[in-house]
Structure 1
Amino acid sequence: MGNQIVETVIGGVVLAFAAIFLIFAYRTADIGSGGNGVHLTARFDQIDGLNVGSDVRMSGIKVGTVTSQDLDPQTFQAIVGLSVDSAIKLPEDTAAKVASEGLLGGSYLALEPGGADELLESGDEITYTQSAVNLMDLIGQAIFSAGSGKSE
């Protein structure tokens, strides 16, 4: 009977630690934080490496999160939904580009504000975009352009 009480207490402690860990992970990952920001969309030809939950950064500082990804069946462009902190006021000529964190790192969405007087509001679309640069394509171009030099 004494062993059953000890096992029950240990099980309760394990469940309590699991609950604490899940709450910590939920808050750290910013899950569900998209509800209080400005919701915008942007269209890209390629979004290689960009996933739902990826950072949206401005000047290297996280200001939002990628909330959705869809494919436009008419233009075959990727439509990216993002949520930006409502304290950040973005001009309507803001540019968005898919940037890489490094050679082995993931991708994030970089915002570069413009100089327009009008501001983007929730539901607007960022019209100036730059797609992801495919590193393998760049390496291939460099190899083939170096090998195509003619020696006389």
Structure 2
Amino acid sequence: MSNRLVESLAGAAVIAVAVGFAAYSYSRAGIGTVEGYEISANFSRIDGLSVGNDVRISGVKVGTVTAQDLNPDSFMAVVKMSVRADLSLPLDSSAKIASDGLLGGKFVALEPGGDIDMIEAGGEIEYTQGSVNLEDLIGQVIYSSTSSDK
């Protein structure tokens, strides 16, 4: 009987350590939503981008994707994102959907412009580049190599 009690206590201790490690890792990973002001951007494609993905400038996380929707008039994907309140983005800033590597997740990469006027809360980034579809790119390479062999 005491053997089962010791095993149960050891199992509970292992579970408690695992939960503690997971909570610590989550708090240190910077995964949470960035508080700040909301801006939006329209993209032709947002393949692989999800709510909660990073918004980065020069590889540094400065925001979070908060929502995505489809504009029924233009059929463009509307991405809303929260950007740190201490950052002011020039009006001519651009946004593109980038990848964390060949198999990595997607994120929004912001490139600040040089305009004197800044994007206000609720504003929109005008210059955008949608995500690149890797399968289409590979298909084009294969097609172009087979058609040049003839």
SS of the equivalent of 2:148 reads coil
Deviations 1:87-125 (A, max 9, x none): 121101100000011111111110001110001111001
Cα-Cα RMSD:
2.6
Equivalent residue, structure 2, for 1:142? 141
- 2:33, 2:52 within 8 Å by CA — same for their partners in 1? no
Identity of aligned residues (%): 52
Distance in 2, matches of 1:108 and 1:45, equals: 15
Distance in 2, matches of 1:119 and 1:19, equals: 44
Alignment of 1:2-151 (within 5 A): 20=20, 24=24, 27-28=27-28, 30=30, 33-34=33-34, 36-149=35-148, 151=150
Which structure 1 residue ranges, 5 or more long, are not aligned?
none
CA 1:72/1:116 → structure 2, altered by over 3 Å: closer, same or farther?
same
CA 1:148/1:11 → structure 2, altered by over 3 Å: closer, same or farther?
closer
Q: TM-score, normalised by structure 1?
A: 0.80
Distance in 1, matches of 2:87 and 2:94, equals: 14
Distance in 1, matches of 2:23 and 2:115, equals: 41
* Shift in Å, 1:13: 7.0
CA 1:67/1:136 → structure 2, altered by over 3 Å: closer, same or farther?
same
Runs of 4+ deviating beyond 3 Å = 9-34
CA 1:31/1:135 → structure 2, altered by over 3 Å: closer, same or farther?
closer
CA 1:24/1:113 → structure 2, altered by over 3 Å: closer, same or farther?
same
Q: TM-score, normalised by structure 2?
A: 0.81
SS of the equivalent of 1:49 reads coil
SS of the equivalent of 1:90 reads coil
